């Protein structure tokens, strides 16, 4: 067997445990940004790793030594798409969940920052799915263009264009909101 393929069930489980520990936060963060609440993000994260475990041995063989993070994010992406299709529900405001976790602050700068973040999140939610996905992967998960391309099944060049257009469209949305007095 090739070096990257686990030789035994025990080795497969060990390697998958490493993958889980290394990428749990990324998969959860991606899921949270997609669905907008912690409970559904936890469910999607669990489903992602269950599906990944079922196909882990084959993924190791096909990866050829490349990182598996884009493969995991692709699974999460597909599950999130199914989540919306199956449940036909809208995103809930993610900032509301974040408020429950963080302690309330009274400083003006933190309030202004929170309002700006809320406006940005609202703007991102207005983007088409592929553009929203690309921005989440790039800025929330810190994925590079090549990883995003693999996760979305696109070429590197198409991904670069997608990110550029996504940023431009988000700037337009935020600019329009500011012009209408909706953004401070």
Given a cut of 50, whether residue 2 has pLDDT beyond it is no
pLDDT band at 3, cuts 50/70/90?
A: very low
Segment 46-64 shows an average pLDDT of 91
Of 68, 79, 78, the residue nearest 150 (C-alpha): 68
Given a cut of 80, whether residue 31 has pLDDT beyond it is yes
pLDDT in tens, 64-122: 888 999 999 999 999 988 887 766 544 444 444 444 444 444 455 555 566 777 777 78
Segment 9-35 shows an average pLDDT of 91
* Measured distance CA(60)–CA(2) in Å, rounded: 10
Segment 167-184 shows an average pLDDT of 82
Tokens of 59: 């993924």
Q: Return the CATH architecture of domain 1-90.
A: Orthogonal Bundle (1.10)
The string over 128-139, giving b where at least 16 C-beta atoms fall within 10 Å of a residue's C-beta and e elsewhere, is: eeebbbbbbbbe
- 107-184: CATH topology is Arc Repressor Mutant, subunit A (1.10.10)
Distant-in-sequence, close-in-space partners of 6: CB < 8 Å, separation ≥ 6:
12, 14, 15, 57, 60
Q: How far is CA 183 from CA 16, 36, 41, 65, 97, in A?
A: 45, 21, 28, 46, 21
* Measured distance CA(110)–CA(40) in Å, rounded: 28
pTM over 0.85? The answer is no
Given a cut of 50, whether residue 162 has pLDDT beyond it is yes
Tokens of 69: 């993070």
Segment 38-53 shows an average pLDDT of 93
* Measured distance CA(42)–CA(109) in Å, rounded: 31
Ordered by start, the domain boundaries in the chain are: 1-90, 107-184
When the pLDDT of each residue in the chain is averaged and rounded to a whole number, the result is 81
């Amino acid at each position: 067997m090739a070096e990257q393929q686990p030789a035994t069930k025990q080795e497969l489980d060990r390697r998958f445990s490493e993958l889980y520990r290394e990428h749990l936060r990324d998969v959860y963060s991606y899921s949270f940004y997609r669905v907008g609440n912690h409970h559904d993000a936890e469910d999607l994260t669990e489903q992602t790793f269950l599906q990944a475990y079922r196909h882990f041995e084959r993924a190791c063989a096909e990866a050829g030594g490349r990182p598996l993070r884009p493969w995991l994010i692709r699974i999460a992406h597909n599950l999130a798409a199914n989540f919306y299709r199956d449940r036909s529900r809208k995103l809930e405001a993610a900032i509301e969940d974040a408020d429950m976790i963080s302690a309330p602050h009274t400083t003006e700068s933190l309030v202004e920052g929170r309002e700006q973040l809320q406006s940005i999140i609202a703007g991102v939610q207005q983007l088409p799915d592929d553009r929203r996905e690309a921005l989440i992967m790039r800025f929330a998960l810190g994925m590079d263009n090549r990883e995003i391309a693999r996760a979305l099944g696109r070429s590197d060049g198409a991904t670069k264009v997608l990110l550029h257009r996504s940023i431009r469209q988000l700037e337009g949305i935020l600019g329009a909101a500011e012009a209408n007095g909706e953004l401070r």
